[in-house]
Amino acid sequence: MDNSKKRTKKSTKPVFRYEKGKIRAAEHEPVTEFPLSLIVNGRELATLIASPHDLRYLVAGFLRLQGFVQSVEDFQMLSVCDDFGVANVIIKGELPEKLKPALTSGCGTGITFNLHQKMDFTNKRVTGSAVKVAPDDLYSLMEQLARLAGEYRKSGGIHSAAVCEGRTILLHSEDIGRHNTLDRIAGEALLKGIDLSGKVLLTSGRVSTEMVTKAAMIGISVIASRTSPTDLAVHLAEEAGITLIGYLRSSGFNVYSHPESLSLAAESKLAAGVTAVILAGGGSTRMRSNKALLPYSGELFIERIYRQLAAIFSDVILVTNTPELYSFLPCRTVSDIFPGMGSLAGIHAGLSNSETHYIFAVACDMPYLNETLIRRLVVGINGQDVVIPESDGGLEPLHAVYGKGSLPAMEDALSKGNRKIVDCFDRLKTTVISRDEVAAIDPEFLSFRNINTPEEYFRFREEMREENHEDGGKGETGGKP
């Protein structure tokens, strides 16, 4: 049997759960969607979209209710191959020469033409900060959709869908078939000349592969449902660059693909035009374990740093050559373009992959981030290539802002084997935030303190325990974690 028909492998990426302003990795298995090709007497008759259990019963019942068989004696062969998703059946008699299709309008698959097999998602992918959606906007939109779904309250059994931008519903439809609601929206947008690229799709029903495929074809960037997606829908959304959200309720929701599109901070509080970049590529030789994964106060260092930066910047990128170690983080990961060239290569990779002109770069082992100081660096951009703070130890290149105008100098240095970041500065427009100005914000220069050894780590934990004790257990204060 042709191996190309073997069932598509599921995505192994984790699910993320958003609740009370925080997003964390969680465990949830989407419902399984299993496409089964039905071949009868050598003819491919249909593709049944089903749950993967008791498929022989499904096939037999389908053929019985279609009128092709009436008793068990009518079957000469009934074979189901789970690995390849194919049912081969031989029945007595011949199939009609011409089969007239019935157009279904309920919650099933309806009529499709192998859409996902023909789709090329290369040019459909939406990544990073190109599209951002705020949880509060999603809650508001779903409430609006519920109010619009008047037909459901009258008779029940009606599905609804809407395409939205911000907190505004642009198009809305209702139908007894959940797939039909999306077809109606796509048709209305076509006839009215409305571009749906980058928009949010809300739906009251389960999200299947067909829904994701149709959404990708019209440029939808986010799909949110009150119920669940299927496992293959999650896989397809990951390929298509679509953020897929399920179980959207007042208590929270699950994010199954591309969680980086979720904006955790209010728009008014975000630093516009700058992407945060976390460097997690060090060897941690002195620590003798991965510094980014050190635990503290119920989370890991890298989680704490991500959370702090996500409250300031709309997009966060993690630079690492081992992305599998950080799959629990809801952000993009990129690898070094110049592997083995240290922090300069990490800054270069983050800047090259940023969709904004500027980045704020920080190391993964700097747990004392100070929001006021970070925002001061961003304010100082003013057309410069680099905005860098100064401490008692000199310039602090791993807590600085870099613009894309820095890339040629960085690439020249890296191609010559030069790893020193500061050696690039003489070719760049650079603003230095003086030691005195930094001290006015962060008197002890804690922002630049990193944790390199086990002794430093245990000392850090002890200091935090003492500080929390003095604060009466209230936790984070004064810009510290």
pLDDT value at position 343?
92
pLDDT value at position 5?
42
pLDDT value at position 114?
47
What is the pTM for the complete model shown?
A: 0.71
Confidence of residue 119 (pLDDT cuts 50, 70, 90): low
pLDDT value at position 34?
86
Identify the bridge partners of residue 431 per DSSP, sorted by sequence position.
Answer: 387
Structural contact between residues 308 and 369, judged by C-beta atoms closer than 8 angstroms: yes
pLDDT value at position 154?
59
CATH number 3.40.50.9100 given to 31-100 = no
What CA–CA distance (Å, rounded) separates 162 from 181? 8
Closest among 138, 249, 254 to 199, alpha carbons compared: 138
For the chain, domain boundaries: 31-100, 128-261, 267-470
- Residue 342: both structure tokens together: 């240290």
As a whole number, mean pLDDT of residues 56-82 equals: 89
Residue 126 has pLDDT above 50, yes or no: no
DSSP label at 272?
T
Closest among 355, 307, 357 to 330, alpha carbons compared: 307
Residue 123 has pLDDT above 90, yes or no: no
pLDDT tens digits for 419-448?
A: 889 888 888 999 999 999 999 999 999 999
Instruction: Please state which CATH number belongs to domain 267-470.
Output: 3.90.550.10
Number of neighbouring beta carbons within 10 Å of residue 138: 21
Higher-scoring residue by pLDDT: 449, 283: 449
As a whole number, mean pLDDT of residues 319-338 equals: 91
As a whole number, mean pLDDT of residues 316-329 equals: 91
Confidence of residue 105 (pLDDT cuts 50, 70, 90): very low
Closest among 242, 319, 340 to 276, alpha carbons compared: 319
b/e per residue 177-204 (b: at least 16 CB within 10 A): bbbbbbbbbbeebeeeeeebeebbbbbb
pLDDT value at position 283?
58
Q: Hey, which residues are catalytic here?
A: 107
pLDDT tens digits for 369-403?
A: 999 999 999 999 999 999 999 999 999 999 999 99
DSSP per position, 36-72: EEEEETTEEEEEEEE-SSSHHHHHHHHHHHTTS-SSG
Residue 215 has pLDDT above 70, yes or no: yes
- SS3 (DSSP) at 307: helix
pLDDT value at position 254?
94
pLDDT tens digits for 227-265?
A: 989 999 999 999 999 999 999 998 899 999 999 888 876
Same fold, 31-100 and 128-261: no
Number of neighbouring beta carbons within 10 Å of residue 434: 10
pLDDT value at position 97?
78
Residue 364 has pLDDT above 60, yes or no: yes
- SS3 (DSSP) at 411: helix
- Residue 105: both structure tokens together: 């309008």
209-217 and 178-192 helices, crossing angle to 10°: 10
pLDDT value at position 127?
43
pLDDT value at position 171?
93
CATH fold, domain 128-261, is Cytidine Deaminase; domain 2 (3.40.140)
What average pLDDT is seen over the chain? 83
Confidence of residue 266 (pLDDT cuts 50, 70, 90): low
Residue 182 has pLDDT above 60, yes or no: yes
Confidence of residue 453 (pLDDT cuts 50, 70, 90): confident
Q: Are strands 386-391 and 399-403 parallel, antiparallel or unpaired?
A: antiparallel
Residue 345 has pLDDT above 90, yes or no: yes
Residue 129 has pLDDT above 90, yes or no: no
Residue 6 has pLDDT above 80, yes or no: no
pLDDT value at position 168?
93
pLDDT tens digits for 464-474?
A: 666 655 555 44
Closest among 201, 166, 207, 209 to 184, alpha carbons compared: 201
